Structure 1
């Protein structure tokens, strides 16, 4: 699935989204959820590519033919996903799929700890086949999302303090964003050999941001996590 990204194209997608929203109003909640499941299944097969038409580079590239592994397989493999095999683990309790691109540096957020976490992300609306928001472009490079994360003995809660997500959806952090927390290290890069944590997520509406939850559509995220000072 290949897309280009420009202002005109974004406006076109907005118009299509409005029309789609109107037709979705005639569907029951169960039908909308079934539609969402089909959209996710299609994304697992096709993936996506979104290209910056003006500057000729890929804003987002997700390979299709995603190999889904179980939680049991994930834990047996030391809580990792094999990127070379395009593996994503499915957490059936939430419906979230996760691929760990980089485990990160430093240490995890420990039990009882409260930490400031800096996030840079791209959100791709699977229903409309388009990037809906990102702070990984030049205009937002100096405006990362900052969230306050607490680990209460394995239960993670968080709130946005500033950034793009905070300005659009408020302080509430999507539940899906917290799925990676037990499996990554949240630190800061101190030399050229270290890399901060980076994950990819497929998040159903039930675990997503407020608009996705209200309108029932799934999102794909690519997110980096870095510990604040």
Structure 2
């Protein structure tokens, strides 16, 4: 009976040790992620502003001052390079949106994916179906025209890609005065694409959004 008791305690202690080890490993990964983000902010002389200042500036960021707004709820950093000359996606509206983007892994400081700088992938215009439900954006990549789906195997649009949409005007390039919405975002792993989620790394994105 004592042997069974000791065995049980040993198994439980090993399980607890393993859990603690895994938790510490994840904590280490998150620390590396935070360090990578902070390094980029410092190296790029980013001027981080609060959500209150962002609101006071009519939900814009001053690119000349290299402003990024930090959203405390999810850790997203957002710079609105161009707000766009189209219309905001209204509540209840379903829109097909076309994107050009470059994805950089901040942990390795390397470009992972782009339909802008890589000629091989330039024919892929990232296509997303976006819905606005009571201010919450959801989206799915079109399997037939999506590098993100091709490389990461899911049609679900990351939260990090969706978050800027409520501050943008999504339109078409239909005149000389048209301006396609563009953002630069730092996306922590937990609101990023599937590989970033599993490997725990942040990504820097440059993304344009155009209404189809």
Same-fold status (TM-score > 0.5): yes
Deviations 1:80-134 (A, max 9, x none): 0000000000001010000000001210111000000001100000000100000
Counterparts of residues 1-229 of structure 1 (less than 5 Å): 28-46=25-43, 64-137=44-117, 138-161=119-142, 162-169=145-152, 170-228=154-212
Q: Which moved more, 1:86-95 or 1:167-176?
A: 167-176
Structure 1 portions without partners, runs of 5+? 1-24, 47-63
Query: How far is 1:27 from its partner?
Result: 5.9
Name the Cα RMSD after superposition.
1.3
After TM superposition, give the deviation of residue 141 of structure 1 in Å: 2.2
Structure ranking higher in strand proportion: 1
Runs of 4+ in 1 over 4 A off after TM superposition: none
After TM superposition, give the deviation of residue 140 of structure 1 in Å. 2.2
Partner SS for 2:30: helix
For 1:168 and 1:148, the matched residues in 2 are separated by: 18
Deviations 1:170-201 (A, max 9, x none): 20111100111110011101111211000000
**CA distance in structure 2 between the aligned counterparts of 1:26 and 1:213, rounded to whole angstroms:** 15
Q: Is the 8 A contact 1:205 1:219 kept in 2?
A: yes
* Structure 2 unaligned regions, length at least 5: 1-21
Structure with a larger share of its residues in helix: 2
The answer to which of 146-155 and 28-37 deviates more is 28-37
Equivalent position SS for 1:68: strand
Q: Would you say the 8 A contact 1:154–1:182 is kept in 2?
A: yes
What TM-score results when the alignment is normalised by the length of structure 2? 0.86
